[in-house]
Structure formats: structure tokens, C-alpha cells
Amino acid sequence: MNTKLKVSEISKIYPGCIANDKVSLEFGSGKIYALLGENGAGKSTLVKILSGVVKPDEGEVFLNDESIKLNSPLDAKKNNIGMVFQHFNLFETLSVFENLSIDIDKKDEELRALVNDILKKYNFKIDLDIPVLNLSAGQKQKVEIIRCLIRNPKVLIMDEPTSVLTEQETDDLFISLKQFSKDGILIIYITHKLKEVLSLCDEVAVMRKGKVVSVSNTIDEKIESLANKMVGENLNTIKKKINNFKKSEEILKISNLNFTSDDPYETNLNNLNLSLKKGECLGIAGISGNGQNELFQILSGEIITEGTSIMFRNKEIGKLNPKERREYLMAFSPEDRISQAAVPELKIYENVALNNFKSSNFFEKGLVNEKKIKEHSKKILSNFSVNTDNVELKSQFLSGGNLQKLIIGRELITSPELLVCFNPTWGLDVGAINYIHETLIQINEQGKSSILISTDNDELLKLSDRICVIYKGKLSKIMNADTVSAEKLGILMGGGSID
């Protein structure tokens, strides 16, 4: 039976962010569709709308040319739309069969027969009577898939399904998905992994900043072309003057850094090596979710890795927390400026006090020195042209650009030797972007170093002296920025190799 699914002009606006901006897409059964985009591109919002978890502000969903209302996950089930979320929704202590029988109106024997048929048909090997907690991630996912299959789905949506799977499990999953597709189930596959799109899917829709930017057949695409579509095509070639740092003093050296996370949704880092010279900007490119978050936290000291060597100005700092690292003149500007780098409910001067170090005297003998903090904050507001002089203002009333100026200002006013920043211009307007870029170039000119982790290639090519790419927790070779092209970055970001 043919299934046609169509979303028409779907919009969803959250305070301060347009998650979906007039998204229109059409899908038909027999094909596997990829929905590709970076974190925050709006793909998760779209599938939440399709599965009834989120209601769109505008737009309609059509199933076989009929408009359907998806007010709750129950409505999605009624319309035979199945969804396997990235995070599993299973009761760990119940058996597989109990998990399957929870929300279905069938007699136990009947259900067991049905499940056994499915197991046989798709060659799944799962013991139905053991508790879910004894299953591997791949098997748990199969349980979730079976849960959808027993409802005869017309549409099956998979949200980043491979993030917790091993290579072997991923291969198995792809075989099953292709089989489902042959059996007439329409499959929508959400991912930010380019290789998977090319090896599995027939059509690919790329989303960026809430909009669909391209729809094409995967045969016509390559890893680089998809990478460029994901991060933005207008790769500009304005570059900063490249200096030769061969003779400069080495300021940071990381050798053989490994990080294995307890959380299966985080990326492990493998054998990372890098070094940074005084006055240099090292750019780290990559599609988000490839270990940038973990790398930033290791640099800032939010994650302490045992036995790792991080030498900063000839001192071992691997075991120090962020506050202690600041004493050694490091500064950090995290990606999440709204809820991590600053607290929206706090006043500007209180947010400034977050970057507290001994010589600042913000807190003397454990007591707050409000006067000192306020003076210091005023200095930041005027030096970094933040659009207010009221240090009592809550930072939630600053625009994104002004907030980022405040944060960069807070981090830089201590004249740190190294600034680590992660997507510093994400979501800002052009004026603010230029200001931040100029500031970052300026600190290099003053002989201070910086590490720029960014998913914006344009920005990286403009600001970096050397560039490398992070892919699945591994760093590529570090290259001089003047020898790097957008195409090269694209290949490396998709997991390809260059010589």
C-alpha cells in the first residue's frame, strides 16, 4: 500500500528562536528519507511535531492527502506513525515482553505470536523474557522498533538512531531499515552523520536554522556537498594575515588525551594531540556532536580526565577545575551563552562575578565586595561596547550580541594568555559577529593565543592561523590555514581523508 506523508508550511516558534520556519516536505513509501542538519537546525522539532509531542504554531500535516491533527503521541499512533527516539523509553527492570505489552490492547498469547513473527521475519535475536537492563543498546533499540512494528506502522521515524550503536549494530540496523522500506513502510531518518545518509537513504532534505535549505537525491550528493549545505554555503575567503609561529614560544601542549564518557550520548575522545604557540589562533572545525563539547569541557576543566597531560605555560593543569585554571590566565567562552556562560536571572554584575579569580578581590575573606564587582563590570560594559551602562540589569534583557560581548569582555578583561571559545558568534547578527571577530583578531595581535572551536567554516577560515577537524572524537592533522580550502574541510568533516 502506498503511503504519502506531507508537511505543509509548518512553523514553530519558541521564545527567542524560530525552530521551524515554514517547513514543507513530501515523503512517499518505498523510500528512505534523510533529514539532515546540525544540532539546533530544527529537525528534532519537526519530528516531534510529526509524532504529536509538540504542536506546531502554523501549518498542516497530510497523510495520504488527508489533513491529520496530531495533538498527542496517541494521535500519531492512531495514524500509524511510529517513532523511535534517540533516548529509549523502556522500563529497565521489566522484561522485554512486559515492555511490549504495556500499551497495547491484545491478549498475551496473541501478542507473543505476533512478536515472534516479527522476530522471525526480520531475523532479530532477542530473548523476550529477560529484563531490558540486560540488553545492549542495539537490542534495546530493536525492542523500540518492534514496539512500533506491532502496530503496523505506515511511517517509521528514527531520531539519530546510531548515536549509541556500535559499527556492527549500525550495519544490522541499516539492513533492517532497508527491509522495512521494501515492505512498504515510509522511513524518515534523522541524523547529522553524512556517511549514513549516503549509504542508507534515497532522498535527503537538509535543514539549517529552522528552514529546509535543500531537497535532493542522495545519488547526486557527495559528503562535501552535504557538509557545505549543512553549515552554510557562502564560504568567504577573507582571511586574517597568517603569521609564522615557528619560532614563538609554545603555550599549550596536550599529548595523548583520551576521554571515555560514562554517558553513551556523549562522544569519546581518542588520542588527541595538539600544541599552540603564543599569539596563535587554532581553529577546530567539525559538524556538531563530534566531540567539540567534550573537548571544550576538558580544556576548561569542567571535565577532569585522569592521567592526561595538559601543559599550559610549562605547568601541568590537567587536574585543575575552571576556577583554578583561570588563576593561570586561561579564559573560556562556552557555546551555551544563555544558560551556561551567564545566568539570565542574575544581574550583569553578578554574572561578571562568575569569572572570579584571586587578584580580582571580588570576594574578600568570603564576603562579597559588591563595589569592586560593580566597578569592574562598568569597565567591561564600556570597554566592550555593551549597549547598556546599568550593571543592575538582569542579563536576560540583553540581546544575544550584547550578552556575548559581555561574556567575551568578562573573559578578556583579565588579560588571559589563552582564550578558548566555542561557537562564539552562533545566532548573532552581522554587526555583533564582526565585533567579536575583530576582538578575536585583536587578542592574537597582542600576543595572546586562542582556540576557536566552531561549526562555522567561514569564521574558522577567517580567524585561524592553523586549522584541524574533529570527527568522531578524533582530530585530523593540524594544517596551516592558508593551505586549507572549504572543500578540504568538507571532506574531513564528513570522515573522509585527504593526503
Element containing residue 157 per DSSP (H, E): strand 155-159
Q: Which of 93, 260, 340, 415 binds other proteins (CB under 8 A)?
A: 340
Binding segment (CB under 8 A) for other proteins, from list 166-174, 237-245, 268-276, 340-348 = 340-348
366 binds other proteins (CB under 8 A): yes
For 83, phi then psi, to 5°, come to: -140, 130
Q: Is 431 in the site for other proteins (CB under 8 A)?
A: no
CB of 323 to other proteins, least distance (A): 3
What is the bridge-based pairing of β-strands 211-217 and 81-84?
Answer: unpaired
Instruction: Spell out the residues 6+ positions from residue 113 whose beta carbon is closer than 8 angstroms to its own.
Output: none
When asked if residue 92 is in the footprint of other proteins (CB under 8 A), the reply is no
Q: Enter the C-alpha cell of residue 422.
A: 566555542
Q: Please state the closest distance from residue 48 (CB atom) to other proteins, in A.
A: 18
Using CB under 8 A, pick the residue from 188, 226, 353, 420 that binds other proteins: 353
User: Would you say 283 and 463 are in contact if contact means Cβ atoms under 8 Å apart?
Assistant: yes
Q: Which of 21, 202, 233, 302 is in the footprint of other proteins by CB under 8 A?
A: 302
Q: 321 or 434, CB closer to other proteins? A: 321
**What residues are paired with 466 via a beta bridge?**
282, 480
263 binds other proteins (CB under 8 A): no
CB of 9 to other proteins, least distance (A): 12
Number of residues binding to other proteins, judged by CB under 8 A? 32
Do residues 88 and 140 make contact, with C-beta atoms less than 8 angstroms apart? yes
**Interface mask toward other proteins for 150-179; x: CB under 8 A:** ------------------------------
Residue 88 binding other proteins, by CB under 8 A: no
Q: Looking at beta carbons only, is 256 or 356 nearer to other proteins?
A: 356
Which listed residue (354, 393, 441, 478) binds other proteins by CB under 8 A? 354
CB of 314 to other proteins, least distance (A): 22
The count of C-alpha atoms lying within 13 angstroms of the C-alpha of 57, restricted to the half-sphere facing its C-beta, is 12
The answer to whether residue 346 forms part of the interface with other proteins (CB under 8 A) is yes
Contact 132, 96 (CB under 8 A): yes
Instruction: Point out which span in 200-208, 250-258, 323-331, 381-389 binds other proteins (CB under 8 A).
Output: 323-331
Does 40 interact with other proteins (rule: CB under 8 A)? no
Q: Interaction with other proteins in 393-422: which residues (CB under 8 A)? A: 394, 396-397
392: contact with other proteins by CB under 8 A: no
Smallest gap from Cβ 355 to other proteins, in A, equals: 7
CB 109 within 8 A of CB 116: no
Residue with Cβ nearer other proteins (208 or 325)? 325
- How far, in Å, CA of 70 to CA of 52, rounded? 5
- d(C-alpha 243, C-alpha 95), whole Å: 62
Residue 236 phi, psi dihedral angles, 5° rounding: -85, 155
Question: From residue 209 to residue 228, what is the string marking binding to other proteins with x (rule CB under 8 A)?
Answer: --------------------
Residues 6+ apart with CB under 8 A from 107: none
9 touches other proteins (CB under 8 A): no
**DSSP output for 66-134:** EEE---SHHHHHHTTEEEE-SS----TTSBHHHHHHTT--S-HHHHHHHHHHHHHHTT----TTSBGGG
* Cell 554517558 sits on residue: 263
| Residues near 181 by beta carbon (within 8 Å), at least 6 away in sequence | 29, 30, 31, 32, 187
321 binding other proteins? (CB under 8 A): yes
C-beta of 111 vs 329, nearer to other proteins: 329
Of 103 and 345, CB closest to other proteins: 345
By C-alpha distance, which of 313, 342, 343, 314 is closest to 330?
Answer: 313
Q: Is 343 in the site for other proteins (CB under 8 A)?
A: yes
Residue 164 makes CB contacts below 8 A (sequence gap 6+) with: 86, 137, 141, 264, 265
Q: How many residues in the chain? A: 499
Nearer to other proteins, 28 or 344 (CB): 344
Q: Does 301 bind other proteins (CB under 8 A)?
A: yes
Contacting residue, 134, 368, 375, 480, with other proteins by CB under 8 A: 368
Element (H, E) at 201: none
**Is residue 385 near other proteins by the rule CB under 8 A?**
no
Cell reading at 336? 551555551
Applying CB under 8 A, among 245, 332, 349, 422 the residue interacting with other proteins is 332
Region of 17-25, 31-39, 233-241, 295-303 interacting with other proteins (CB under 8 A): 295-303
d(CA 207, CA 214): 7
Which of 345, 392, 429, 445 binds other proteins (CB under 8 A)? It is 345
Sites of contact with other proteins (CB under 8 A):
15, 300-302, 321-326, 332, 334, 336, 339-343, 345-346, 350, 353-356, 363, 366-368, 394, 396-397
